[in-house]
Amino acid sequence: MFAAYTFLYTLGLCALAPRALLHLLTGGKYGTALGARLGRVPDHLSRCRGAVWLHAVSVGEVHAARGLIPHIRVLLPQVPIVLSTTTPTGQAIARTAGADAVFYMPLDLPHAVRAFVEALQPRALLLVETEIWPNLLRACHRAGVPIAIVNGRLSERSARRYARLGRLWSAPTSMLSAVCARTGTEAKRFAAIGVSPDRIVTSGNLKADAEALKPPPQLGTALGEALGLDPERPLIVAGCTMDHEEEKVLRAFRRVQERHPSASLLIAPRHPERFDEVEALVRNAGFACRRRTAPSDGIADVLVLDTIGELPAAYGLGDVAFVGGSLVATGGHNLLEPAIQRRPVLFGPNTDNFALLAEQMVSAGGGVRVTDAEALAREVSLLLDEPDRRHRAGQAAYEVARRDAAAGMRTARVLVRMLAPSTS
């Protein structure tokens, strides 16, 4: 199975090679830290042997890791923690997550992952959400390193896809020492794809760890001053928006301004490489626009948050939040960040990545599902019309987010039990 996987994986890399070369020459994401991706271990990892190794692909997974790292520190205070990511945006957030070292994950090629395992000699490998990389798992398994999936996320569609692989997938999943699933439903899905039920724990959602998610109040204050926000103007925050979604948000905002002419909008695109594109979209739509990093040149109706890591604080400055990736078919993004700030959470119909949480938000009255730009405009306007309703919805969203706030400690305890044979 591993030979076939490596062959197909290598073919895929070859197909991407021209694009990777272009990114290398232009400083794009595929060319970042090319040496590390090919197996050259950064020198700074030499001081972290015996670490707990957390791997988080990008921004969302790093936020989950942030909900776990403080709890590992409490239970294993002498053990270093290292954090790897795949994307540059994830790497930028990871540098604020409190790990002892941050680095790029190597490609899942036998020699590349083996070099990192040999250099780090990790005490455990924790894969955030659903990062099943067969060669990495095999390298750790051969080295006697226990492996766990934490904040395990598995949609119904992904579970069906893994199940179709049958025995081909049984080899890597059999190497997992533990799976900490977000929900009972996802725990059952992991069992259905071959993970032994006695290795599965329902631990809750790491992203709901309030202390990890909620930024210090002074960050919000500083951001508001930098943006030149007028507290008398209602603010709508649209976070993690995707390609072809900003146009819908801007159409909705135009309708909102018909009822609330003083309202302003802050858009935070999911991917930094789209900052320029989104600014152009805003200006082409006829709105006065200002970017977070640009000098203030008067009042703007639409602000573009072109920084990394400030979105949680931005949600706290808004009156109403819309979470992107949901009016387009990408599965939706983190609903917890605005909820922990006690803001009503609006989202579109595509929430496969947070299906149960979206249902809980709607049932509790803290979340509102909208189908299109017209519905988004209508619901935002209603919430701006009624401050008491807006407050109640925000509090309801917060209560849903708080339900899983102990997920970090539950997951850390699973890690300690997993390590018990090697630490006793």
DSSP states of 331-344 as a string? ----SHHHHTTT--
Contacts (Cβ under 8 Å, ≥6 apart) of 35:
none
Q: Are strands 264-269 and 289-291 parallel, antiparallel or unpaired?
A: unpaired
Query: Which phi-psi region, left, alpha or beta, contains residue 301 (left: φ > 0; alpha: ψ -120 to 50)?
Result: alpha
Q: What is the pLDDT of residues 83-120, one digit of tens each?
A: 999 988 899 999 999 999 999 999 999 999 999 999 99
Same fold flag, 2-209+405-423 and 215-402: yes
Q: 61, 131, 186, 245: which is the annotated catalytic residue?
A: 61
Question: For a pLDDT cut of 90, what percent of the chain falls above it?
Answer: 71
Higher pLDDT, 4 or 229: 229
Collapsed DSSP state (helix, strand, coil) of residue 366: coil
Is 61 catalytic? The answer is: yes
What CATH number is given for 2-209+405-423 in this structure?
3.40.50.11720
Q: Where are the domains of the chain?
A: 2-209+405-423, 215-402
Nearest to 375 by CA among 242, 255, 285, 215: 255
Q: What is the pLDDT of residue 424?
A: 41
Q: Which pair of tokens denotes residue 306?
A: 């072109």
* CB-count burial class (<10 Å; 0-12, 13-18, 19+) for 25: exposed
For the four alpha carbons of 78, 84, 88 and 89, in that order, the dihedral sign comes to negative
User: Tell me, which fold does domain 215-402 have in CATH?
Assistant: Rossmann fold (3.40.50)
pLDDT at 399 over 70: yes
Q: Which amino acid is at 243?
A: D
The whole model's pTM is what? 0.81
3-class SS of residue 373? helix
CA dist., res. 120 & res. 187, Å (int)? 30
Q: Residue ranges of the alpha helices (H) in 27-131?
A: 34-37, 59-66, 69-75, 88-94, 110-120
Distance, in Å, from the CA atom of 345 to the CA atom of 225, rounded to the nearest integer, reads 24
Average pLDDT on 383-402 reads 96
Q: What are the pLDDT digits (tens) for 226-282?
A: 998 998 999 999 999 999 999 999 999 999 999 999 999 999 999 999 999 999 999
Task: Tell me the pLDDT tens digit for each residue of 116-127.
Answer: 999 999 999 999
pLDDT surpasses 60 at 160: yes
pLDDT digits (tens, 9 = 90+) for 164-203: 876 667 788 889 999 999 999 999 999 988 899 999 999 9
3-state secondary structure 65-94: HHCCHHHHHHHCCCCCEEEEECCHHHHHHH
